[in-house]
Amino acid sequence: MLPADEDVAELTRLIWETVLGLAVEGGSDVASESIDLRLSVDITGGWEGTVSLAMPGALARSAAAAMLEVPEDQVPPDELHDAALELANMIGGNVKGILPGPSALSLPRLERVERAVDPGGDARRLWFESGGKSFSVTVVRRSGGST
């Protein structure tokens, strides 16, 4: 079983708006934009799967600037990645909280990508927009995970 789209969308909006103070729209399955970064966390235990946040580098920079309360042109590259990883960790942790447990959350990992890929299998991707830039949250249930 995958979490309800509405729940994932609401958790994503809540994190985006409270942590970053940035407006976010969407939560649909329609959008496309060049994706530079994919950040993922694994959930293991009562439910097995992965939660991924994918976004263009420009949005990662905007998010890091908002988190650090500095102008976008003053965000160091390592801080940009750390902020994006923390966002993925927060989204993954909140999704974990609405799934069957007990379960554990892995450390977030960063992957550079050229485009959004089809997650395949038992998965759902939701697209959002913030500041005119699209990003997605994907939840994938691995075979053998609880329903």
In a domain, 147, yes or no: no
Q: What is the pLDDT of residues 31-61, one digit of tens each?
A: 555 778 899 999 999 999 999 999 988 899 9
In a domain, 31, yes or no: yes
In a domain, 146, yes or no: no
Q: Could you give the number of structural domains in the chain?
A: 1
Q: Both tokens of residue 125?
A: 């991707």
* Residues forming a β-bridge with 52: 40, 138
Residue 92: which residues within 8 A CB-CB, separation 6 or more? 40, 41, 43, 51, 105, 108
pLDDT at 35: 76
Backbone angles phi, psi at 133, to 5 degrees: -120, 135
Query: Greater confidence, 123 or 39?
Result: 39
d(CA 115, CA 54): 9
Split at pLDDT 50, 70, 90, the class of 147 is very low
d(CA 82, CA 65): 12
Other CB atoms within a 10 A radius of the CB of residue 1 amount to: 11
Q: Which domain holds residue 10?
A: 5-141
In a domain, 113, yes or no: yes
Backbone angles phi, psi at 40, to 5 degrees: -135, 150
pLDDT at 41: 96
Which CATH number fits the domain that encloses residue 64?
A: 3.40.1550.10
pLDDT of 112 strictly over 90: no
